[in-house]
Structure 1
Amino acid sequence: MAEAKHHQSNFKGWLFKWTNYLKGYQKRWFVLQNGLLSYYRNQAEMAHTCRGTINLANAIIHTEDSTTIVISNGGAQTFHLKAGSEVERQKWIMALEMAKSEAKKMLRDESDEEEVQQPDRAELTMMLHTLSAKLEDLHTCNDLIARHGLALTKTLSELESAHSAAEAAANLKPVQERATLFRITSNAMINACNEFYELSQSQGRRWQRTIQHEHERRLKYEEMVEQLAKNVVSLENKARMSLSGHPVRGSDSEEDEFLDAFEHQVEERELTVALPHGNDMMHRRTDSMESYPDVSSESESENSLNEARVYTSKTSPKKGSHREHQRTASQDKIRMPKSLSTDSHGSDSSIPGRRKRRKRIPDKPNISLNLWSFMKNAIGKELSKIAMPVNFNEPLSMLQRIMEEFEYSEILDQAARCSDSCEQMAWVAAFTVSAYATTLFRASKPFNPMLGETFEFDRMDDLGWKGISEQVSHHPPMLAMHVDGREWSTWQEFTMTTKFRGRYLQIVPMGIAHLVFHKSGNHYTWRKVTTTVNNIIVGKLWVDNHGEMDITNHHNGDKCHLKYSAYSYFSRENPRKVTGVVTDVSGSAKWVLTGTWDNKMEGAQIIHVEESNKGKPVFETGPHKTMWKVRPPPPGAERVYFFSQLATEMNEPEEGVAPTDSRLRPDQRMMEDGRWDEANRMKLRLEEKQREVRKQREGEAERAKAEGRENEPYKPTWFRKERDPTTGALIHIFNKQYWECKQRQDWQRCPDIFL
């Protein structure tokens, strides 16, 4: 008990806290700071899990005997504590009383500051009226100076053109009068400028202080809400799992501690709030359903993570009824998103001659992993240079993941049938948005392809397209892809920068995507937006796509500007919102787009444009049409990495593919089969082989340099580097030889990259 440390109103140390009648008083670590008394199971928990907090500003502190301290917060919370000795109890009492006094003073100061800095509506109106009047004076002076300056210039010209001294003397008086008027108006202008400057400067300083004050308050509230989300959702998750009879998280001692805290809250009728994307334990299960945010596409009432849920207990419920309530809450939270479309995707095996593709992959094993123990040394480093275990992966390579962008390829088929280029642009924009639908639940990392690794996907018979992708560079990691449809072709060179920032992982895509329609010749290009994976260390992983995207039709100058709104706790906008406007070469708006990247996109043709009072355009549109709707995931998707049907079919073994195809990669196949330990060992062997090959290539380059001869750099097998005539950049273009080699089964040019 002698570990308590005292510094003004801050205090730390061990106390015994009453938990329940079964366990009585339990030893806990208490921290008194900034008027808040918080407790933890031990000191290590301070980094991630707070067991409870009470605000001392309005709390009542009293003692019952020589070692007991009772702290009550208006009946909503009560801490029954015991110190190791009377001396130690007295130290805590002094620290608590001092903290309470300072907390009250802070509340009074904040209240006074708000009164000083929060102007009323009348004062604001008066200030704006005064500034407007001063600005109007400036406009008036400006007009007068222009008028008198023009008159002065005219009279000076007449004076210069005088032919005699008498004529010049006659013109001198008007010049003096004009100069006097010009001087008077100039002085008036200077005075008006000074008055406007002084007024705006004084008011500006005041508003700057007010804005700074509001900014600081917002940051404080955000921090409080984030901490509340961590604590409360952790409590809710553990309650749901433990009280439903499935204690899958943590040790027995952690579950006992949770039950103590939960029973304590129920007895004191505390308020429990579940906020969006809350946090849970440090040792989290990356492969469980809890790793992903809960989403419902249909209604807000079914979306437990898009709105706050509040449970209040006016009286202590019975054990059985409470457990039933928790079980119901659990069932609500794992509800899968409902579909807005009944369309299916994939091959139809009922059609004669069409290949029957698999409907499911093996369920992923139930393996837990401590993310922090691995990722703490990766902060600020390039993620592609860190050897990561397959536990963080999904059994698909990046070459396959990039091909998933054609999950909704029927949108491009629809766009190809459009005769109006602006309408076609709207369909293309909807297609670019649909590529992000699979990222909602897919927070796992795809396998980094080996240099020379390929993936081909021939779906011409059922989906109307076929594609080939290849890893064309290893440092920096870069892949090239080319896909041909019946009426369109698309290609891109994809690389990205990834930075781990502690709480989130940010992925910034590089490169430009191209799309050409064969019939019209319309050539579109765009860049992808930023993807952020949140709660990397603590909490549920959830993905957000945000930024701005510009799509350009290089054939006729049409453009589309899309805005992906970033998620915010405090935003009133719908999460994952996407808006856009299609304009022609003259800049006239022709189509508007609105929707979300996880649900659907709608478009409407603009009939008329008007200017609003604020100077912003107001669009009168025709009827809205749905241009894309998300398809529901297959049943039990949470057990198979949330793969769509197309993703499930991608890694299915297939004969006749190149020996470098991702489906033949052994570590990825082992992971899909559930043999993760073997997959990790195989992954290390493959990476070591790749490093050896790279060393040999670098050694050959050094020898060539020493011998004065030119070293031939690495060249991809199916792509060649050329200058793009549209953008002027050097990119990898498909050499159109893969499908011919596949038909002949000629794979001599393929490198040996797998074991």
Structure 2
Amino acid sequence: MSHYKGFLYKWTNYLKGYQKRWFVLQNGLLSYYRNQAEMAHTCRGTINLANAVIHTEDSCTFVISNGGAQSFYLKAVSEVERQKWLTALELAKSEAIRIQEVESDEEEPQPDKNELQKSLRTLNSKLEDLNTCNDLIAKHGSALQKTLSELEQLESPTDAHNKVKAVNERATLFRITSNAMINACSEFYDLAQTNGRRWQRMLQHEHDQRLKLEEMVEQLAKDQVSLENKARKSLHGGNNNHNSGSNPSDDEDFFDALDHQVEDEFKVALPPKPEKLHRRTDSDFSMESFTNEVSSESESEIPISEACVFTAKTNSPKRNQDKLKVRQLTSESLNASGETSNKRVRRKKIPDRPNYSLNLWSIMKNCIGKELSKIPMPVNFSEPLSMLQRITEEFEYADCLHKAAKCDDSAEQLAWVAAFTISAFSTTLQRTGKPFNPLLGETYECDRTDDLGWRNIAEQVSHHPPALAMHTEGKGWTCWQEFTMTSKFRGKYLQIIPLGIAHLVFHKSGNHYTWRKVTTTVHNIIVGKLWVDNHGEMDITNHKNGDKCHLKYSAYSYFSRETPRKVTGVITDITNKPRWVLTGTWDNQMEGAQILHVEESNKGKPVFETGPHKVMWKCRPLPPGADKCYNFTQLAIELNEPEDGVAPTDSRLRPDQRLMEEGKWDESNNCKLLIEEKQRATRRKREQEAEKAANEGRDFPQYQATWFKKDKDPITGNLIHQFNGKYWDCKAKQNWSDCPHIFL
């Protein structure tokens, strides 16, 4: 809107009155012409909006004045048209003022390093003066106080007269030292204020130079990819044309598409201070956040260069039933004493991640500005877990909920719940792969009642929009949620806003808690070290008694002195009285303390007097060799472990995911192509049946999840998928007749 053009009526004189003129608003300047043809040769007048004043007179007229030297009296054809012009003019004025300030700053020379060092030495000298004055004030103040105390204890008037003289002398010294302190503070303040703007400009200059370097490296990487492709085509173009009778894009169909469901826990740590920039390769690129499959053939796929194409075999990969329907590890094993135990022995490791190179630029160059559903990604950016398993991994620290279930104090219970919600982000620190995107109807069960005290069932209940439902039962508590999200990919960063509300109920107290996850941003998607930040505010509410925990995830800033990944929170009761305080980071640990007393500081902010702090949650270290195994935690290693008796739709039975875990990535890509094509065929068939039913005037039933049903959420009033309670009974009977056949 800062660039605008159109006809307005301009006041000329008392004889002609208002005359129709063509006005053009551009670059902070408002110019006018008699007509549009005059724009090529004659400008009748121009006014700079940076120093102009804009005010209105009635519903259609307004005046633009430039310090009295020049004024435009204008009239629009309607009030609506006048408002459009006023909006454009105000925006253009703000932009002109900003440009003027920037140009003014640029005219001033940048301070060199010698000048900066000199200023720092001067500041250091002033600081030493302040320290000296401080020491003198403390010394003279103590002496004055001592003399006054002695004066109070005297009884003889003669001695009192001598002491009063000593008091006057010490008071004079104290006043002189105080004045020196005030003068030193004033000099230090003036010097810091004088140089502060220049230092800030210098820092901003360095920051801008860094951004320019990033853009240069990005362009160099693009040019290199282009040259590689041209060289490859010139060397092998003839052979490819003779040997290939199909469209090259036929070999690219195995790619995933990314939909709106992008997990809010990304698997990369925040970076240290910027290091040497480098071109992105497969080994340092993380797309763990991208989580949804292509679901229809109508969705566009991004062409990729030959450098990153996997050959898609036309024949279906042979299915090894012994590997795909794997056996559960023996439930009876010898313990250290030689006796048998019913406790299952879990695996400690998975096969190392193979080193497959991939040209990232060939995939990313056409992704900028597109929805995630339009961005296809190969298996190389995945980890051998499904999104259903990844969301289950949030219960790694479910012991926080076990402790919360034993609390009689609702505020303390809420503190444990808050620690649990924060722990869900801890696994986002070092993971470098995205989960497999669940197929519609895919499920995952995790029964860890024997050792961890909880069991979980999750199902992909919708594909457009993508959503999964989850139900978890623990020792004295039940948790459920429907997880979906919205996201945008903007090239350099990806921002994810989770949707859906998580519910948690404790059986003993009846306390019902809800919360919504915070926003996640992935930075340096294309150039530089990839890093993730979880930021925003989260409210955890107890709907039984009104307790609330307000958590703040501080956004990372390059210029901030705040602790990276910092989280703070305060728990209040229904009367808004603070009860507990929480502090820590989402990647390491959280501490909590009960608030004993609240006072108000001079700045109007509350000051909490707390009891002893205690650790509410602490992140466990990764197992040995985790860097070679996708940086999985011990629980993540166990999630995809083969198990008998699960539903035929369970993620552990996905052949493409199992092949990837075994390091057979080419076979996994080919298998994924077949599974994906089967899913599309099923969807096309359903759409055709729905269209036929509509033409015949009859209703066609919507897709129904197997283990979840749509019901009204008592808290929000929205329809959500809630557990129907049938899964564990069907597992006990091994009755899987209601499960769809979604795998090969």
- What TM-score range do you get, normalising by the shorter chain? 0.5 to 0.7
Sort the Cα spacing of 1:671 and 1:583 in 2 relative to 1 into closer, same or farther, 3 A. same
Task: Give the aligned partner of residue 712 of structure 1.
Answer: 701
Sort the Cα spacing of 1:692 and 1:426 in 2 relative to 1 into closer, same or farther, 3 A. same
- C-alpha separation in 1, matches of 2:514 and 2:196: 41
Q: Is the 8 A contact 2:280 2:528 kept in 1?
A: no
Sort the Cα spacing of 1:215 and 1:698 in 2 relative to 1 into closer, same or farther, 3 A. farther
Q: Tell me the amino acid that sits aligned with residue 751 of structure 1.
A: P
Normalised by the size of structure 1, how large is the TM-score?
A: 0.58
- C-alpha separation in 2, matches of 1:279 and 1:568: 19
Q: Is the 8 A contact 2:111 2:202 kept in 1?
A: no
Q: 393, 397, 402: which one pairs with 1:404? A: 393
Query: Alpha-carbon deviation of 1:214?
Result: 9.3
- C-alpha separation in 1, matches of 2:614 and 2:542: 22
Task: Give the aligned partner of residue 594 of structure 1.
Answer: 583
Query: Alpha-carbon deviation of 1:348?
Result: 11
Q: Tell me the amino acid that sits aligned with residue 626 of structure 1.
A: V
Q: Which runs of 5+ in 1 are unaligned?
A: 1-102, 115-120, 122-209, 233-249, 251-273, 293-346
Query: Alpha-carbon deviation of 1:278?
Result: 3.7
Query: Alpha-carbon deviation of 1:277?
Result: 5.1
Task: Give the aligned partner of residue 363 of structure 1.
Answer: 352
Task: Give the aligned partner of residue 644 of structure 2.
Answer: 655
With 538-547 and 640-649 compared, the bigger mean Cα shift is at 538-547
Task: Give the aligned partner of residue 224 of structure 1.
Answer: 209
- C-alpha separation in 1, matches of 2:673 and 2:375: 12
Q: Tell me the amino acid that sits aligned with residue 609 of structure 1.
A: V
Whether 1:395 and 2:380 are equivalent positions in the alignment is no
- C-alpha separation in 1, matches of 2:346 and 2:687: 43
Q: Any idea what SS the aligned residue of 1:449 has?
A: coil
Q: Is the 8 A contact 1:397 1:446 kept in 2?
A: yes
Whether 1:286 and 2:275 are equivalent positions in the alignment is no
Q: Tell me the amino acid that sits aligned with residue 207 of structure 2.
A: E
Query: Alpha-carbon deviation of 1:281?
Result: 2.4
Whether 1:643 and 2:632 are equivalent positions in the alignment is yes
Q: Any idea what SS the aligned residue of 1:433 has?
A: helix
Whether 1:539 and 2:541 are equivalent positions in the alignment is no
Q: Any idea what SS the aligned residue of 2:701 has?
A: coil
Query: Alpha-carbon deviation of 1:505?
Result: 2.0
Q: Tell me the amino acid that sits aligned with residue 720 of structure 2.
A: I
Compare relative contact order (CA 8 Å, sep 6+) and give the higher one, 1 or 2. 2
Q: Is the 8 A contact 1:724 1:731 kept in 2?
A: yes
Q: Is the 8 A contact 1:576 1:597 kept in 2?
A: yes
Q: Is the 8 A contact 1:231 1:279 kept in 2?
A: no
Q: Any idea what SS the aligned residue of 1:658 has?
A: coil
1:172-228 per-position Cα deviation (integer Å, ceiling 9, x unaligned): xxxxxxxxxxxxxxxxxxxxxxxxxxxxxxxxxxxxxx9999987765432334567
Q: Is the 8 A contact 2:496 2:519 kept in 1?
A: yes
Q: 270, 273, 282: which one pairs with 1:276? A: 273
Task: Give the aligned partner of residue 710 of structure 2.
Answer: 721
Query: Alpha-carbon deviation of 1:689?
Result: 1.3
Sort the Cα spacing of 1:217 and 1:723 in 2 relative to 1 into closer, same or farther, 3 A. farther
- C-alpha separation in 2, matches of 1:383 and 1:410: 35
Whether 1:375 and 2:364 are equivalent positions in the alignment is yes
Q: Any idea what SS the aligned residue of 1:391 has?
A: helix
- C-alpha separation in 2, matches of 1:212 and 1:716: 61
Q: Any idea what SS the aligned residue of 1:377 has?
A: coil
Query: Alpha-carbon deviation of 1:695?
Result: 1.1
Query: Alpha-carbon deviation of 1:430?
Result: 0.4
Q: 746, 749, 752: which one pairs with 2:735? A: 746
Q: Any idea what SS the aligned residue of 2:390 has?
A: helix
Task: Give the aligned partner of residue 482 of structure 2.
Answer: 493
Task: Give the aligned partner of residue 528 of structure 1.
Answer: 517
Query: Alpha-carbon deviation of 1:107?
Result: 6.7
Q: 565, 586, 608: which one pairs with 2:597? A: 608
Q: Tell me the amino acid that sits aligned with residue 378 of structure 1.
A: C
Q: Any idea what SS the aligned residue of 2:366 has?
A: helix
Whether 1:432 and 2:429 are equivalent positions in the alignment is no
- C-alpha separation in 2, matches of 1:109 and 1:636: 53
Sort the Cα spacing of 1:647 and 1:212 in 2 relative to 1 into closer, same or farther, 3 A. same
- C-alpha separation in 1, matches of 2:106 and 2:198: 14
- C-alpha separation in 2, matches of 1:744 and 1:573: 55
Task: Give the aligned partner of residue 240 of structure 2.
Answer: none
Q: Tell me the amino acid that sits aligned with residue 487 of structure 2.
A: T
Task: Give the aligned partner of residue 459 of structure 1.
Answer: 448
Q: 549, 553, 565: which one pairs with 2:538? A: 549
Q: Any idea what SS the aligned residue of 1:379 has?
A: coil
Task: Give the aligned partner of residue 141 of structure 2.
Answer: none
Q: Give % identity.
A: 66
- C-alpha separation in 2, matches of 1:723 and 1:222: 51
Alignment of 1:293-304 (within 5 A): none
Q: 554, 557, 571: which one pairs with 1:582? A: 571
Query: Alpha-carbon deviation of 1:372?
Result: 2.0
Task: Give the aligned partner of residue 6 of structure 2.
Answer: none
Q: Tell me the amino acid that sits aligned with residue 281 of structure 1.
A: H
1:550-586 per-position Cα deviation (integer Å, ceiling 9, x unaligned): 0000011000000111111111000000000000010
Query: Alpha-carbon deviation of 1:380?
Result: 2.1
Q: Any idea what SS the aligned residue of 1:551 has?
A: strand
Task: Give the aligned partner of residue 386 of structure 1.
Answer: 375
- C-alpha separation in 2, matches of 1:279 and 1:502: 20
Alignment of 1:302-341 (within 5 A): none
1:241-269 per-position Cα deviation (integer Å, ceiling 9, x unaligned): xxxxxxxxx9xxxxxxxxxxxxxxxxxxx
Q: Tell me the amino acid that sits aligned with residue 286 of structure 1.
A: S
Q: Tell me the amino acid that sits aligned with residue 451 of structure 1.
A: L
Q: Tell me the amino acid that sits aligned with residue 224 of structure 1.
A: Q
Sort the Cα spacing of 1:565 and 1:721 in 2 relative to 1 into closer, same or farther, 3 A. same
